[in-house]
Structure 1
Amino acid sequence: MLKIAFDPLYVHPVPVGHRFPMLKYELIPEQLVYEGTVLPNAFFRPHEVDEHYITLAHQITYWEKLKNLNLSTKEIRRTGFSLSKLLVYREISIVQGTIECCDHALQDGIAFNIAGGTHHAGSNWGEGFCLLNDQAIGAHYLLSQKKAKKILIIDLDVHQGNGTADIFKSEQRVFTFSMHCQRNFPFRKEHSDLDIGLPEGVGDEEYLGILEKNLEALFNQVKPEFVFYLAGVDVLETDKLGWLSLSKPGCKTRDEIVFEYCRRFGVPVQVSMGGGYSTHIKDIVDAHCNTFKAAIDKLY
């Protein structure tokens, strides 16, 4: 049965100025159920996280400062949020949701976190609305529990997964792949195992061709036992911050290509939703819901 991590904390502790992009976390479950894509019992609320797994991906000093609200003013500014206890709890819930999704994916082939994709959080920093890196922590969970020996992270958010690249720069068991808009945030890029920086304005045909060519090579080269997929929809032409030009059908095809390779190679996949900043919330929610539909079509 498809399992989807969702916690009301994903929406409510976020400062008012950031509520619009966060509203999607409330609307996505409602639309998925309304359309009949999933049943209400597909959703689960994450349990309490074991801090040990956080410190496998993040330096203990950073985690202790974050947990105790002791980040400096400069460090807080870099996150883009106003730091609070509830905000930290939200990040912890997202992390635990992804950890639990790892186990569900191992059992069922795929599992989703309604939030997550916090790929700008590095080993000792938060950045760009990311405080803890949920998929990096999930990958370390799998490795430490010996549930996977080789992991592929497919990051198709419009922004480079700089935090993920930093965390795994010396870890041979995790291959990081980021395909993003080169001139977009973050302006100081880290080095993923494979980075594809696209020029502004790339549309469906070019984007999908580049993606398929590289996934074919990566699945054959890496031979992953587990995949993390960051399915940001800020690649849409309607996105205010993205600078790429994918249509909604093109974005869904992107997802279908990823899931088709996971199906073909028999690899379980955990999906975190990543960014989306289109002017109209309907465009964001529709595109995210299409990711679920693509997964069901390809993997169920």
Structure 2
Amino acid sequence: MLKIAYHPCYGHPVRKDHRFPMDKYPLLIEQLKYEGTIEEDNIFAPVEVEEKHILKVHTPEYWHKLKHQEISYKEERRIGLPMSPALIKRELIITQGTIDCTEYALKYGVAMNIAGGTHHAYSEHGEGFCLLNDFAVAAQYLIDYKGFERILILDLDVHQGNGTAEIFQDNNKVFTFSMHGANNYPMHKETSDLDIPLEDQTDDTTYLKILRQKIEELFSNIQPQFVFFLSGVDILKTDKLGKLGMSMQGCKDRDQMVFEKCFTEKVPVAVSMGGGYSPQLNLIIEAHANTFRIANNIYF
């Protein structure tokens, strides 16, 4: 059964801004249910993550400031969201949702978090709409509680996973791969284990050729025991913040490629949705929905 992390707080209006379309989360759930891709039994509501898991990847000082609402104005501007207890709660629930997805992925092969993919959160600060790094917390959970030693993070959001790269820069149990726009946020890139910067307007053919080659190399060289897939749909040509030239079909083919490889190699995969900022909300919903449809078709 495809298990999907979703909580009503995912749609909390933390910022009324076209760059951060919070209403996509409940609408995506409704679309998937309406078309029959999922039913109510597929959905689970995470609780708040325990502090001990946060402190495995984030510094005590940073967590203290988040927990006690002591983030400065300058830090808040860097994050890009107004601080509130509701926002912190939302981040805690999203992060636990990704941890829960690792457990369901181990059982069913794949599991998905409607939200998450907060890859701009560093160990000691947040930025780019990201406060806690859900992939980092969940990957460390697998290392600490499941004994995993070869974890692959496939970050295919249009923006580099700079926070994830910083957190795992000295950790040889997690391989960070980021394929992103070269001329996009963040302008200062961190060093992932493997970065593939793409030129503006990169098209389907070029993108998919590079990705196929790199996925084959990564699975061959790393032989991952677990994969985290950040499936941002801000690679679309229609995306206001993306700058790439990918079509809806190209984005769909990307997801198909990742899921088929994980399925064939019998490697569990946990997915977070990441970004999507096309001006037409229906395009964002359709692109994200394709990710769920493909996973459901391949695995179930």
In structure 1, the residue matched to 2:180 is 180
In structure 2, the residue matched to 1:78 is 78
Cα distance, 1:147 vs structure 2: 4.5
Is the CA contact 1:13–1:86 (under 8 Å) kept in the aligned structure 2? no
In structure 1, the residue matched to 2:240 is 240
- Kindly provide the CA deviation profile for residues 103-139 of structure 1, in whole angstroms up to 9, marking residues without a partner as x: 0100110000000000000111100000000011000
Give the TM-score normalised by structure 2: 0.98
Cα distance, 1:200 vs structure 2: 0.2
Cα distance, 1:149 vs structure 2: 2.0
CA distance in 1, matches of 2:247, 2:48: 38
Cα distance, 1:71 vs structure 2: 1.2
Per the alignment, in what secondary structure is the counterpart of residue 176 of structure 2?
strand
AA of the residue aligned to 1:69 = Q
CA distance in 2, matches of 1:132, 1:18: 22
In structure 1, the residue matched to 2:112 is 112
In structure 1, the residue matched to 2:68 is 68
Is the CA contact 1:13–1:90 (under 8 Å) kept in the aligned structure 2? no
Unaligned stretches of 5+ residues in structure 1? none
Is the CA contact 1:13–1:87 (under 8 Å) kept in the aligned structure 2? no
Is the CA contact 2:2–2:111 (under 8 Å) kept in the aligned structure 1? yes
Cα distance, 1:20 vs structure 2: 5.8
Is the CA contact 2:18–2:277 (under 8 Å) kept in the aligned structure 1? no
Unaligned stretches of 5+ residues in structure 2? none
Runs of 4+ in 1 over 6 A off after TM superposition: none
- Mark the CA change 1:145 to 1:19 in structure 2 (over 3 Å): closer, same or farther: same
Query: Aligned pair 1:225/2:188, yes or no?
Result: no
Per the alignment, in what secondary structure is the counterpart of residue 279 of structure 2?
coil
- Mark the CA change 1:189 to 1:195 in structure 2 (over 3 Å): closer, same or farther: same
In structure 1, the residue matched to 2:170 is 170
In structure 1, the residue matched to 2:28 is 28
Is the CA contact 1:95–1:116 (under 8 Å) kept in the aligned structure 2? yes
Per the alignment, in what secondary structure is the counterpart of residue 56 of structure 2?
helix
Is the CA contact 1:4–1:112 (under 8 Å) kept in the aligned structure 2? yes
Per the alignment, in what secondary structure is the counterpart of residue 55 of structure 2?
helix
Alignment of 1:243-258 (within 5 A): 243-258=243-258
Alignment of 1:26-175 (within 5 A): 26-175=26-175
Cα distance, 1:150 vs structure 2: 1.1
In structure 1, the residue matched to 2:11 is 11
- Kindly provide the CA deviation profile for residues 35-87 of structure 1, in whole angstroms up to 9, marking residues without a partner as x: 11111111111023111111111111111111111112111110000001100
Query: Aligned pair 1:270/2:270, yes or no?
Result: yes
In structure 1, the residue matched to 2:206 is 206
Per the alignment, in what secondary structure is the counterpart of residue 158 of structure 1?
coil
Is the CA contact 1:11–1:19 (under 8 Å) kept in the aligned structure 2? no
Aligned identity (percent) is 55
> Matched residue pairs, number?
300
Cα distance, 1:18 vs structure 2: 5.8
In structure 1, the residue matched to 2:286 is 286
- Identify which range, 90-99 or 290-299, moves more after superposition: 290-299
